[in-house]
Amino acid sequence: MQWQTVGSPPFLAPLYWRAALKRKITGTALPEQGLRCRVSVNPKAVAAYRKVCGFADSAVLPATYPHILAFGLQMQLLTAKSFPFPLLGLIHLSNRIRIHRPLGGISDLFIGVHAQNLKPHAKGATFDLVTTVEDSLGLLWEAESRMLCRGVKLEGAASDEAQSPPTQVSEVSRWKAPADIGRRYARVSGDYNPIHLSALTAKLFGFPQAIAHGLWNKARTLAALGEHLPAANIEINVEFKKPVRLPSEVTLWASAPGSSGEFVLKGAGDIEHMVGKWQPIA
């Protein structure tokens, strides 16, 4: 892997323009290059994120917040000329984060992003978007988001590694996903994907209504679980199932507090939106 260090987090507007112009698959190999950048944590931005995602005030960053710090770099990587797949149309299948140490007392961080693990899938191909966050002591947090690009033809058999739904769970919380949550989350995350913003823009991409961001669903779930989970040495894995159409109401079911457990986010008619589990880092 070759690394390019960027002087500051990229400005998003030109990257969105680049994403809008690229609609074709241009290859079947991931670039062997990653991006790195130093970022500063802005307390006002963290407070706005907490409000949208339901996190209580704390001296420790929300477990999902490093995604927000890395978003500009991820956009730069995924809209680069060398990247073979168009950003618009990528589907977020699953997300795993690992918190190695508590995310407290943090101001400056070093973020790295790269793509790896290209594999055939029944509907195209998947790859992992990998994000690492380091502080002065070393690796602090890391994530893998599995993305699907439809229509890619790769050699080999497609593997299916679906997580089975949890069994020993009880209702923990329920909340409404309001019609404007996609726009509100976009303002704090920078993720203005049209499928999340309004029914009108979602219809352009084949969705009857706007759908909630997968990472908002995960963040809102972790906010609701609160003290349920350890603050560090934890891996939290989710699979996104059926999208949460806006507006709607969802219910969170989870196992008892502890070092490991499972959860599921359900909608009307017991539809599964997201299944997940947490466990100590192996």
pLDDT for 146-184, tens place per residue?
Answer: 999 998 988 888 877 777 788 889 999 999 999 999 999
pLDDT of amino acid 166: 84
pTM, entire model = 0.95
> Can you give the pLDDT at residue 206?
86
**How many angstroms separate the CA atoms of 8 and 116, rounded?**
24
Q: In the chain, where does the domain assigned CATH 3.10.129.10 lie? A: 1-161, 163-282
- Name the DSSP letter for residue 149: E
β strands within the chain, DSSP E? 2-6, 33-40, 91-99, 108-121, 124-135, 138-150, 170-177, 234-240, 248-254, 261-266, 272-279
* Percent of the chain scoring above 90 in pLDDT: 87
Handedness of CA 94, 100, 102, 107 (dihedral sign): negative
How high is the pLDDT of residue 205? 84
Per-residue confidence (pLDDT) for residue 140, from 0 to 100:
97
> What fold is seen in the domain 163-282?
Thiol Ester Dehydrase; Chain A (3.10.129)
Residue with tokens 């997968």: 214
pLDDT at 261: 96
Given the candidates 3.40.50.2300, 1.10.12.10, 3.10.129.10, 3.20.20.70, the CATH classification of the domain at 1-161 is 3.10.129.10
- Which of 124, 140, 127, 63 minimizes the C-alpha distance to 94? 127
- Most confident of the ranges 11-20, 104-113, 215-224: 215-224
Residue 105 pLDDT: 78
Per-residue pLDDT, 4: 96
Tell me if residue 228 falls in helix, strand or coil.
Answer: helix
Average pLDDT over residues 182-189: 97
Mean local confidence (pLDDT), 183-188: 97
Q: Could you tell me if 14 and 50 are in contact, meaning their C-beta atoms sit under 8 angstroms apart? A: no
CB 218 within 8 A of CB 274: yes
In sequence order, what are the residues at sequence separation of 6 or more whose Cβ sits closer than 8 angstroms to the Cβ of residue 142?
Answer: 97, 98, 100, 130, 131, 132, 133
Amino acid at 21: L
For the chain, how far is it from start to end, CA to CA, in angstroms?
Answer: 24
Beta-carbon contacts of residue 133 (< 8 Å; ≥ 6 apart): 66, 69, 70, 109, 110, 111, 139, 140, 141, 142
Give dist(CA 180, CA 59) in Å, integer: 28
- CA separation for the pair 210, 205 (Å, rounded): 10
- Amino acid type, 107: S
